[in-house]
Chains A and B, each alone.
Chain A
Amino acid sequence: MTNTPDKDEDRVLAGEYAIGLLTPDEAAAFAARLAVEPDLRRLVRQWTEDFACLAEDIEPETPPAWVQAGVDSRLFSGPARGPLGVFRRVVVPLMTAASLVVALFLVSDPGAPGVVSDPGAPGVQPPAPPVYQADLEAEDSSLVFSAGYDATTRQMYVERRQGTARPGRVLELWLIADDNPPVSLGVLPDNARVRLPVPEALRDRLEGGVLALSDEPPGGSPTGAPTGAVLAVGPLMDV
């Protein structure tokens, strides 16, 4: 292992990221690198394991019984299926999630292509599970996109919340799964809401994957890999 200043810098940054010491901007920039640099993810994972050892010094303390009852009632009472059930499964984890991603909810109506609506709106049918959802936001919030995979139509819905490609350039959407190179899901047209077909080979790789938007020449990357800057990233969350 070498000890060049760059390597040391990455080790320190990964430690700061794992503890949560970076500013939101720094954290977002680091997260963008994490999406495409497996070595960096390994550093964060090692730090996370190391620091978790510190928690061994914390004395366990039995919580009052009503806490578990509260968990059960929040999770399991009320309709297990239907819009409310899905609403809970998506919105609760997002509301409590850390703030790198913008909490946003996306429900599609499989019978009406392109329709994107707010949760809880009458008549909106949630997509059949499994569904994955991701929020992509640029470091400076100049680009904000949301994506949701509908297993029924096997399409990725992408909603533009803010920002467009630079003049003479396009935005291309990528799926990054594990240590594999990014795979293109297509160039985003200028529409506010689009659906991109997800090839069969990629469907099993959505779970645990990361979506990324890159800056590309018209027509998309000529090489099959991102050629421009990675502008925004977001992990696909299991809904």
Chain B
Amino acid sequence: MLDDDEIERLIAATALDDRAAFNALYTATSAKLFGVVLRVLNNRNAAEETLQDVYIKIWHNAGRYQVNGLSPMTWLITIARNTAIDARRRKTREADGDLHEMLADSAPGPENRMSEGSGHARLSACFAELEPDRAGAVRRAYLDGKSYAELAAQYGVPLNTMRSWLRRSLLNLWECLGR
């Protein structure tokens, strides 16, 4: 995996329609993004189709990367995850929950970036402070793209209970992350 600066450079070149840079970006990141998409869709054929959509979005939206203020891997992972969840929900026609293009958030400035390693360690420590069930539900909500309704069914609790669990856990995480 290339470092953040290199990936950022490839995204910037992709925004200028540089196909060689786009290919290099694909080579450097497709295995990670395929993993992310597979995790949500849990189906190889669907994941392969969706991964194409992901890179097509990346090509078209590379010029918007800077204005999002996200670190490059976060931006790519968010596109992959959201596209996969979109595909899954479109397929299951599930009404509950919605998903948003992070692309739509024209947030400025690259402040508050963290290096991947330290961010992960910090986050893991904070997840460890949550009750195991609740930590698991938050992880599933993010990694599997599960809705409140799906999580409630999975954990055998009413939807409102699941919602309070998650919301309380988010607040605990926020406090733990020291903000």
Contacts and interface: CB of A to CB of B under 8 A. Distances in A.
Given A62-B34, A96-B57, A209-B106, A52 B52 contact: no
What band does the interface of chain A fall in when counting residues whose beta carbon is under 8 Å from B?
Answer: 35 or more
Interface in B7-63: 19, 23, 26, 30-32, 34-36, 38-39, 47-48, 51-53, 55-57, 59-61, 63
Interface in A31-65: 31, 34, 38, 41-42, 44-46, 48-64
Interface string B86-128: 1100000000111111111111100011101001100100000
Given A1-B179, A38-B108, A41-B105, A63 B48 contact: yes
Given A56-B120, A97-B101, A46 B60 contact: no
B106 A210 contact: yes
Given A45-B112, A48-B78, A63 B51 contact: yes
A238 interface: yes
Contact of B112 (A42, A70, A93): A42
Q: Is the interface of B mostly helix, strand, loop or mixed?
A: helix
Given A15-B174, A45-B69, A208-B106, A55 B119 contact: no
A20 interface: yes
B106 to A, nearest CB: 4
Nearest to B37: A63
Contacts of A176: 106
Interface stretch (A71-79, A103-111, A142-150): A71-79
Contacts of A67: 30, 34, 48, 51-52
Nearest to B106: A208
A49 B70 contact: yes
Contacts of B157: none
A235 interface: yes
B36 A58 contact: yes
Given A96-B86, A98-B86, A8 B120 contact: no
A189 B38 CA distance: 48
Given A42-B107, A60-B31, A238 B60 contact: yes
A117 B118 CA distance: 52
A45 B105 contact: yes
A68 B56 contact: no
A100 B101 contact: yes
Contacts of B103: 97, 235, 237
B67 interface: yes
9 contacts: A11-B179, A48-B74, A54-B123, A58-B35, A61-B34, A75-B56, A96-B57, A98-B82, A235-B104
Given A38-B107, A207-B64, A235-B106, 19 more contacts: A8-B171, A12-B167, A31-B104, A44-B107, A53-B123, A55-B32, A55-B35, A55-B143, A56-B116, A60-B31, A63-B51, A75-B56, A96-B56, A97-B101, A99-B98, A176-B106, A210-B106, A235-B104, A235-B105
Interface of B: 19, 23, 26, 30-32, 34-36, 38-39, 47-48, 51-53, 55-57, 59-61, 63-64, 66-71, 73-74, 77-78, 81-83, 85-87, 96-108, 112-114, 116, 119-120, 123, 138-139, 141-143, 145, 147-148, 166-167, 170-171, 173-174, 177, 179
